[in-house]
C-alpha cells in the first residue's frame, strides 16, 4: 500500500503557506460554528416553538373529539381560532393524513416535522412546500381532519441562514485583510531572497532592509556579508592583475632578447618556456577577471556555439560542432557572453590538449540550455571529478601533463561561470567518443 506524503500537496511559496495557516483555521472554525449553531440553536428553538403549536393543535383535537357533532365542533373551532390567531377548519377526507412534504435542505423544517409527530402521533401531516411562508398542518380526529394554516415564523426560527451569511462575509473580509497584511510582511523576505539570488549570479542589486526586526537584521547581515565578499573579490582581482602585469613586463623583455639572439637550441627552449609562462599569466588573468563588470544580455546560444567553434578552428584545431536539428523560435538565453565564451573555450581547449577528436554540442531544453564538450582522451576518474574543479589542481594519472601547458584553472573558471549564471558544470564519460564529457548547463 502506497503511503501518501502530505508534504507533496503543501504549497511551496512562503506566502501560500502563511495564507494557508491563517485561512484554513478560519474556515474550519466557521464550519464548526455553523454546524453547532444550526444543530443546537436553530433546531432547539424550532423544537421549542413547535411544542407550543403542537399543544395548541392537541387542544383543538380534544375540543373536536369532545363535541357531540361535527357542526358543533366546527363552531367551537371558529371560536378557538380567534385567540390562537391560527385559522383552523374541519374536513371529512383523511386520505393524505400522515404524509409530510419539505425541501431536503430545510433543516428547521425537519425538526418541526419530527417534533409534531412525536407529540401528536403519526396521524399528522405537514406541508412546507406549497407556501414557504406558511405551514399547513392536518391532524386526524374523531370527527374528521383538522386543518390549520400557521405562519412559518411561529414554528421555526426566522432567517436561519442570516447568521451564516454574516459569518461568511466576515470571514471573507478577514481573509482579505490577513492576505494584505501577509503580503506586506513577506515582501521584505522576497526582496532579500531576490537580492541574494542575484548576488549568487554575480549581480549586485540595490537593497534596503525593511519589514520586521528579524528581517531587518537578516538584511543588514546580508549587506555586510556582500560588502566583505565584494571587497575580497576586488582585492583578489587587483592582486592577481597586478602580479600578472608586473611579470608580463620582464617576460616581454626576455622575448625581445631571445628574438635578437642567434638561432640556437637554448634560445628556442627558453622561448618555449617564455610562451608557457605567458599562457599561465593569461590563465591567471582569466581566473582573476571572472565575469566582473560584465552585464548579462540576451544572447543567441546557437551563434555562441558557432563562435567558440570558429575560434578553435582559426587556431588550427579540428572540432565537430553539433547543433539542434530543429532550431526553436527563441534560442536566446540571458547570460554573460564573454564569460560563457571563455568557459567554453577552456573546456574545448582541455579536450584538444588531451584528445584527438573533440565535439561541441548544444541542447535546448524547456528550462535549460546545455553546452556539451566531449573528447576521446583518457577522461577523469569518477572519484576525482569534484576535486579536479578546484583551482590550480591537475591530475597526474587521468590527463597527460606533457600535452598541456595550463595551470589547472580551466575547469575552475568554467565552474565559476556556471555558478554565476545559476547553472552547473557536470563531468562524465562520453558514450560516443569514450573520453571526458563536460556539460555546461545554464538556466533559460
Per-residue pLDDT band at 373 (split at 50, 70, 90): very high
Q: Residue 374: left if φ>0, alpha if ψ -120 to 50, beta else—which one?
A: beta
C-alpha cell recorded at residue 160: 436561519
Domain with 335 in it: 293-443
Per-residue pLDDT band at 371 (split at 50, 70, 90): very high
Round to whole Å and give the CA distance between 217 and 22. Answer: 25
Q: Is residue 398 part of a domain?
A: yes
- Residue 116's contacts (CB-CB under 8 Å, 6 or more residues apart) are 50, 53, 54, 57, 124, 126, 137
C-alpha cell recorded at residue 379: 577522461
Last residue of a domain, one of 104, 121, 154: 154
Q: Can you give the pLDDT at residue 204?
A: 78
Last residue of a domain, one of 154, 181, 213: 154
**What percent of the chain is predicted at pLDDT more than 70?**
83
DSSP class of 97: T
**Predicted confidence (pLDDT) per residue in 174-193, tens digit:** 888 888 888 888 888 888 88
Round to whole Å and give the CA distance between 442 and 373. Answer: 14
DSSP class of 204: -
- Cross-strand pairs, 89: 147
Q: Is residue 202 part of a domain?
A: no
Q: Is residue 222 part of a domain?
A: no
Per-residue pLDDT band at 397 (split at 50, 70, 90): very low
Q: Can you give the pLDDT at residue 405?
A: 47
H-helix or E-strand spanning residue 441: strand 436-443
> Residue 52 class from Cβ within 10 Å (0-12 exposed, 13-18 middle, 19+ buried)?
exposed
Q: Can you give the pLDDT at residue 80?
A: 86
Could you tell me the CA-to-CA distances from 101 to 37, 113, 128, 225, 405 in Å, in that order?
24, 9, 6, 75, 97
Average pLDDT, the chain: 79
Could you tell me the CA-to-CA distances from 149 to 53, 85, 86, 345, 361 in Å, in that order?
11, 10, 6, 96, 88
**Predicted confidence (pLDDT) per residue in 272-330, tens digit:** 777 777 776 776 666 666 555 567 788 888 888 888 888 888 877 888 888 887 766 67
Is residue 60 over pLDDT 50?
Answer: yes
- Cross-strand pairs, 364: 369
Q: What CATH number does residue 103 fall under?
A: 3.30.450.300
CA-based nearest residue to 290, from 242, 245, 236, 248: 236
The better pLDDT of the pair 361, 7 is held by: 361
Q: What CATH number does residue 318 fall under?
A: 3.30.565.10
Q: Is residue 195 part of a domain?
A: no
Last residue of a domain, one of 135, 154, 173: 154
Is residue 196 over pLDDT 70?
Answer: yes
Q: Is residue 186 part of a domain?
A: no
Q: Is residue 328 part of a domain?
A: yes
Q: Is residue 231 part of a domain?
A: no
Is residue 1 over pLDDT 60?
Answer: no
Q: Is residue 312 part of a domain?
A: yes
The better pLDDT of the pair 40, 351 is held by: 351
**Predicted confidence (pLDDT) per residue in 246-265, tens digit:** 777 777 777 777 777 766 66
**Predicted confidence (pLDDT) per residue in 199-240, tens digit:** 776 677 888 888 888 888 988 998 898 888 878 777 777 777
- Residue 65's contacts (CB-CB under 8 Å, 6 or more residues apart) are 141, 142, 143
How many domains would you assign to the chain? 2
Amino acid at each position: 500500500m502506497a503511503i501518501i506524503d502530505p508534504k507533496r500537496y503543501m504549497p511551496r511559496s512562503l506566502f501560500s503557506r502563511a495564507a494557508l495557516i491563517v485561512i484554513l483555521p478560519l474556515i474550519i472554525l466557521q464550519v464548526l460554528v455553523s454546524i453547532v449553531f444550526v444543530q443546537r440553536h436553530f433546531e432547539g428553538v424550532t423544537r421549542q416553538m413547535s411544542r407550543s403549536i403542537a399543544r395548541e393543535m392537541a387542544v383543538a383535537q380534544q375540543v373536536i373529539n369532545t363535541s357531540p357533532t361535527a357542526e358543533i365542533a366546527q363552531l367551537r373551532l371558529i371560536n378557538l381560532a380567534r385567540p390562537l390567531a391560527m385559522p383552523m377548519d374541519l374536513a371529512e377526507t383523511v386520505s393524505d393524513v400522515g404524509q409530510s412534504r419539505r425541501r431536503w435542505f430545510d433543516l428547521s423544517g425537519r425538526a418541526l416535522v419530527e417534533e409534531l409527530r412525536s407529540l401528536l402521533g403519526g396521524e399528522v401531516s405537514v406541508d412546507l412546500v406549497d407556501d414557504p411562508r406558511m405551514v399547513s398542518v392536518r391532524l386526524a380526529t374523531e370527527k374528521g381532519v383538522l386543518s390549520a394554516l400557521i405562519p412559518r415564523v411561529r414554528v421555526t426560527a426566522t432567517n436561519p441562514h442570516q447568521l451564516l451569511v454574516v459569518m461568511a462575509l466576515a470571514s471573507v473580509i478577514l481573509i482579505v485583510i490577513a492576505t494584505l497584511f501577509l503580503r506586506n510582511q513577506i515582501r521584505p523576505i522576497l526582496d532579500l531572497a531576490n537580492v541574494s539570488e542575484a548576488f549568487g549570479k554575480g549581480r549586485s542589486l540595490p537593497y534596503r532592509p525593511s519589514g520586521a526586526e528579524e528581517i531587518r537584521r537578516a538584511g543588514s547581515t546580508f549587506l555586510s556579508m556582500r560588502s566583505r565578499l565584494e571587497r575580497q573579490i576586488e582585492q583578489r582581482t587587483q592582486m592577481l592583475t597586478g602580479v600578472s602585469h608586473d611579470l608580463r613586463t620582464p617576460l616581454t623583455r626576455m622575448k625581445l632578447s631571445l628574438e635578437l639572439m642567434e638561432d640556437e637550441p637554448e634560445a628556442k627552449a627558453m622561448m618555449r618556456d617564455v610562451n608557457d609562462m605567458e599562457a599561465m599569466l593569461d590563465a591567471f588573468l582569466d581566473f582573476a577577471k571572472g565575469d566582473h563588470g560584465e552585464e548579462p544580455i540576451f544572447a543567441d546560444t546557437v551563434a555562441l556555439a558557432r563562435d567558440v567553434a570558429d575560434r578553435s578552428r582559426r587556431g588550427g584545431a579540428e572540432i565537430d560542432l553539433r547543433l539542434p536539428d530543429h532550431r526553436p523560435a527563441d534560442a536566446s538565453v540571458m547570460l554573460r557572453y564573454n564569460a560563457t565564451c571563455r568557459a567554453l573555450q577552456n573546456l574545448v581547449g582541455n579536450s584538444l590538449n588531451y584528445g584527438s577528436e573533440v565535439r561541441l554540442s548544444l541542447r535546448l531544453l524547456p528550462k535549460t540550455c546545455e553546452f556539451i564538450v566531449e573528447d576521446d582522451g583518457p577522461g577523469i576518474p569518477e572519484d576525482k571529478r569534484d576535486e579536479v574543479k578546484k583551482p590550480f589542481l591537475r591530475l597526474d594519472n587521468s590527463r597527460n601533463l606533457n600535452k598541456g601547458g595550463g595551470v589547472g584553472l580551466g575547469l575552475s573558471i568554467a565552474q565559476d561561470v556556471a555558478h554565476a549564471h545559476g547553472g552547473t558544470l557536470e563531468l562524465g564519460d562520453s558514450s560516443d567518443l569514450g573520453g571526458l564529457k563536460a556539460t555546461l548547463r545554464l538556466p533559460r
